[in-house]
Amino acid sequence: MKLLLVGATGLVGREVLRLALADARVSQVVAPVRKPLPGHPKLDAPLVDFDRLPPDAPWWQMDAVICTLGTTMKQAGTRQLFRRVDHDYPLAVARLALAAGTRAYVLNSAAGANAGSRIFYNRVKGELERDLEQLGFMSLTCVRPGLIGGERDEARAGEGAALRLLRVLGPVLPRRWRINPAPRIAAALLEAALAAAPGVHVVASEQLA
């Protein structure tokens, strides 16, 4: 399989990249990034501006896309910039890949994704899922983790305390409320891309605990 991975420098994206490069079923990984990645024989990491993606790049034509792009309100600064990263960029990637013949798209979404939600974060995630489904990929999988366990480059306010609490309470909590480790999310994303099962699929947070 030839895999296009967007968001390769984030917590989950790094895990997807690690797994994909080690997987014999994956022959090539193209990971468009804003800053260079360490070299690997199977990796092509072109430097791009996500506001000006090259429509004629040959690497849009792949077997599957895994998208782990995402930010936070704190990092984005405004709702408009948050929507650009968490909705517009993944959708732009999807359109270019689909136009080039890529048949499968796998999204790292979020538990609670709902286009009709009053919560801005959940609404943006849900709108992206809805808009991706309307594009008509042969295979679309939305993986919906809850609180993600792992070491981020930048701490998120309140997340550390929540993670510590859930680690203590994990054994007695329902599976849908437990921490979802980044490697497990990454494995689910990669397996969905490799399987490329026809239709629209959702992997819920309880399946990632």
Catalytic residue annotation:
121, 125
Alpha helices in 102-158 (DSSP H): 120-135
| 140, 200 Cβ separation under 8 angstroms | yes
* Closest by Cα among 201, 190, 202, 208 to 1: 190
What is the CB-side half-sphere exposure of residue 205 using CA atoms within 13 A?
Answer: 18
Question: In 3-state terms, what secondary structure has residue 185?
Answer: helix
Residue holding tokens 């680690």? 167
| Residues in Cβ contact with 58 at an 8 Å cutoff, skipping those fewer than 6 apart | none
Give residue 169's identity as a one-letter amino acid code.
Answer: L
| Residues in Cβ contact with 48 at an 8 Å cutoff, skipping those fewer than 6 apart | 32, 33, 34, 54
For 2-34, the DSSP string reads: EEEEE-TTSHHHHHHHHHHHH-TT--EEE--BS
